Amino acid sequence: MRILLVEDDHLIGTMVRLNLETDGYAVTWHRNGEAAISTFAADRFDLLVLDIGLPGKSGIEVARATRKLGVGTPILMLTARDDVDSKVAALDGGADDYLCKPFSMPELLARVRALIRRSQGSLEVPTDQIVLVGGAAVDAQRHVVRARNGEEADLSDKELSLLLLLARNPGKVLTRADILEEVWGMDASPTERTIDNFVVKIRRWVEGEPDHPKHVITVRGWGYRYDP
């Protein structure tokens, strides 16, 4: 996941970048709006973290300029102003969420994850489509998976949801918390071991050698990544 950070305060920018990179994101950091607009127009990012009070073009002007490019990349606005008018201006200017300074890094990271998750989750897989996950073909309408060896198996709702979650998030590290929220939601709380058991079962369908996976990869200390 790639994030464009636009923040002119050296201390805040340094702390935000450090925490984002520690959380696994690749961060490009600019200190003024003009440079950010040029970079955004030339490259692809998964999220824009944008301070309102920038030298030159304000954060709201930057947000408006990026929206004119026709790209729906989510924008998290950072603002020192907590009045209603400033928040409304940020949202009307193209922001998807805002965070008032001073803020805690855990809250910033939680909002970043939520915005990216909602953005990626909007890339829904049609229920009448055959979706390829690794070497398996998933029939979402019939709740059936055809494994690499040609055998078919019926899918439970949770198994289907997990396969489709992987399919629409290629290359992204999905934490166990992400998977619990997206697949199990508000159901009775499963343990992390439950997720691991589901992954073991899914690997039997999508991997040529389940004990040496090439598609559903364990990211130690985090969760799993799907490599098509």
The CATH number of the domain holding residue 210 is 1.10.10.10
Strand partners for 48 = 4, 75
For residues 117 and 135, membership in a common domain is answered with no
The CATH number of residue 38's host domain is 3.40.50.2300
* Segments of the chain assigned E as strands: 2-6, 26-30, 47-51, 75-79, 97-100, 130-133, 136-139, 144-146, 152-154, 173-175, 216-219, 223-226
Predicted model pTM: 0.55
What is the spatial distance between Cα 145 and Cα 157, in angstroms, rounded to a whole number? 12
pLDDT digits (tens, 9 = 90+) for 116-165: 877 765 544 454 567 888 878 888 878 899 888 888 899 998 898 899 88
For residues 68 and 146, membership in a common domain is answered with no
At residue 30, does pLDDT exceed 70? Answer: yes
Backbone dihedral angles phi then psi of residue 219, each to the nearest 5 degrees = -110, 105
Q: Pick from 121, 153, 187: which residue ends a domain?
A: 121
Q: Pick from 103, 121, 139: which residue ends a domain?
A: 121
For residues 30 and 110, membership in a common domain is answered with yes
Q: Pick from 62, 92, 121: which residue ends a domain?
A: 121
The answer to whether 86 and 53 are in contact (CB under 8 A) is no
For residues 153 and 217, membership in a common domain is answered with yes
Give the pLDDT confidence score for residue 207 in this predicted structure. 92
For residues 160 and 50, membership in a common domain is answered with no
The parent domain of residue 73 ranges over 2-121
Please count the structural domains in the chain. 2
